[in-house]
Amino acid sequence: MPVYALLSRLSTAAQRDILVNPAHLTQIRETLEEWEANILADFHLLGKHDHMTVFEVSDNVRAQRAVLNLEMTRSSQTMLLPAIDLPLFQRMVQQEIRTEGPHKWQVSWWAKLIRLGFRWRQYTSHMVRYCKPFTVTGREHFRGIKGPCIVVGNHTSHFDALALFHGLPQSIKWNIYFGAAADRWFLKGGGGRKEWELQPWYNSLAGGSFPIRRGGGSATLDYSKWLLSRGANLAIFPEGTRSTSRKMSRFKHGVALLATEMKVPIVPCYLTGLNKLRPKGTREIFPGPASANYLPPIHLPEGIEIPDATRMIYEALNEVHNRVLEHGDSAARWDWQSPGG
């Protein structure tokens, strides 16, 4: 996820507020978090600028809008600096970053059989070890789907793809593919790293993944369309990155574009508990309960506008999200009834 350093000078009114109540210093953090920013570090400065916040957020537009909101409320002057972590920058200056894929052979019968053999290593072993217990609801919604579909889920953890896949019926698992960041999982030659899991061929074969080039425009969807045209299913997280707040992030339009053009249904899946297993920013894993809750399929109306279609998909998951916030994880079931109703 992109990282930024924000330097800011507080307005005169904000400085007065802080003298009265030093707790107001946290309002810069709170303003950024409203725009789904994940705060990495916070410093008060003794110099030209008063404050520095290091944060990550899903895209440059959201970062700019957060800073604009900050300028209108707390700061008279700001400077937003995009940042690159040092190991990545060293690789960039030492060599040209090249990616490879997608590999169309991944849809062949022999690739599917090999992928089946890798399933325990790639998915099941992690689920058995860490998701205790793992609950699945709504799997019956796939019975009426005769052709390809797109399964979409909320995104809070690295475990999300494992859980979404693990809960699927075998008929969907057999022929489903996940988009993955090209500059992380599909670097040519593994980006100089030797581990199997970092090699493009391994991710295409064992993981059923294909590269998504960030900022690649409409051409980014070409391979997804090809997969759907071959009868394959897709799994996509429309938020684009893991959410770090209580709100679901805004959905990107890719799913709506694919579903309307290829005329395929969308099956939402609301995942619970996974953000507690491996919280963002840590490598430690804490075993605990988790669930995958598949909701009724969405069939987008003919002629619907893309923003309206994206909103329709978002609301299907956000309605469940709000229920879970109020009533707990059990409210994620598609057939959940409120205690008073």
pLDDT digits (tens, 9 = 90+) for 9-58: 777 776 777 677 776 667 777 776 776 677 888 888 887 788 788 877 76
Write the CATH number of the domain with boundaries 104-332: 3.40.1130
Q: Give the tens place of pLDDT for each residue, 143-201.
A: 989 899 999 999 888 788 899 999 999 999 999 999 888 877 888 876 666 777 778 89
| 115/67: higher pLDDT | 115
Q: Is the pLDDT of residue 312 over 60?
A: yes
Tell me which H or E stretch contains 291. Answer: strand 288-294
Percent of the chain with pLDDT over 90: 41
Backbone angles phi, psi at 324, to 5 degrees: -65, -40
Vertex 22 angle, CA 20 and 26, to 5°: 130
Q: How far apart are CA 191 and CA 88, in angstroms?
A: 10
Task: Give domain limits for the chain.
Answer: 3-83, 104-332
* Cβ–Cβ < 8 Å for 334, 295: yes
- Cα atoms in the Cβ-side hemisphere of radius 13 Å centred on 158: 13
Say yes or no: domain 3-83 is CATH 3.30.70.920: yes
The first and second tokens of residue 90, run together, are 């060293």
- Taken in order 277, 176, 210, 200, the sign of the CA dihedral is positive
Mean pLDDT of the chain: 82
Which pLDDT band, with edges at 50, 70 and 90, does 105 fall under?
A: very high
The first and second tokens of residue 31, run together, are 């303003």
